[in-house]
Amino acid sequence: MLHVILEKNGFLCHDVHAYCHDKYLGMYHPDNELIYLNVLKNDWNDRSTELVAQCEAELKSVLTADFSFLVSIYGKLAVCGIPRSKREACYAFSQMGLKRAISAAAKSNPELEDGTDYIVRHTDTKCTHLARRGNGGAGEMPRPGLMRDTCSFSPNIKGKSLLLVDDIFTPGLGIDDDGIQALFDAGADSVVFYAVGMARGSGQGFRLCA
């Protein structure tokens, strides 16, 4: 697992510890090992139920092991997820596999609290990986405060130590930094960030730990 420090920037008021299961080399890269993310992340919904279930199970296995490691370092944590770019009602069942896998992994560990409904998108934003190809839908691109302005936050966040989870972290994009800051603004006592994959980004805003 990669351990990095997300450094204070225009989205984030102070440094935060972050972990990534592996590098994400891209959907079509021949050495990309996180194939299950390709199924669970993409926005078309013509995939078989069996394929989605298989990828969810594979992701749950990864998350369960990695979450246990993080518990050994940080103790009890409430697990939240970065919500998808649109309101949840916009998505088909096959498109919500990431959230289900995060919830299942959290529920499998008595030291974790399932907080996957603690952040709920109420206003659509652009889907950034599609926007780069001229699509992405309606709404704004990442900016400081966008998560706070387009999501509702549970009062259960206040005073808790949180593990914020995303599928892919792209350095320099700002989505995850903004999500972390939104949790602090909602009263979180501490936040650790985790992503399954770390994509190539600007190369700025973080430093690798030994």
How many domains is the chain built from?
Answer: 1
For 116, the domain range is 2-208
The reported pLDDT for the residue numbered 44 is 57
* Burial state string for 73-93 with b = 16 or more CB within 10 A and e = fewer than 16: eeeebbbbbbbbbbbeeeeee
Enclosing H/E stretch for 52: helix 49-74
Cα 210 to Cα 3, 5, 102, 165, distances in angstroms: 8, 11, 27, 22
This prediction's pTM: 0.93
CATH for 204: 3.40.50
The reported pLDDT for the residue numbered 35 is 86
Share above pLDDT 70 across residues of the chain, in percent, rounded to a whole number: 91
Q: What are phi and psi of 192, to 5 degrees?
A: -110, 140
**Pair type for strands 119-121 and 2-6:** unpaired
Cα–Cα–Cα angle for 18, 144, 7, rounded to 5 degrees: 30
Checking if the pLDDT of 114 tops 80, the result is yes
The pLDDT mean for the chain works out to 90
What tens digit of pLDDT does each residue of 54-98 get?
999 999 999 999 999 999 999 999 999 999 999 999 888 888 999
Mean pLDDT across 125-131: 73
Share above pLDDT 90 across residues of the chain, in percent, rounded to a whole number: 68
The reported pLDDT for the residue numbered 203 is 65
Contact assessment for residue 118 and residue 156, using Cβ atoms and an 8 Å cutoff: yes
Checking if the pLDDT of 153 tops 90, the result is yes
The reported pLDDT for the residue numbered 49 is 83
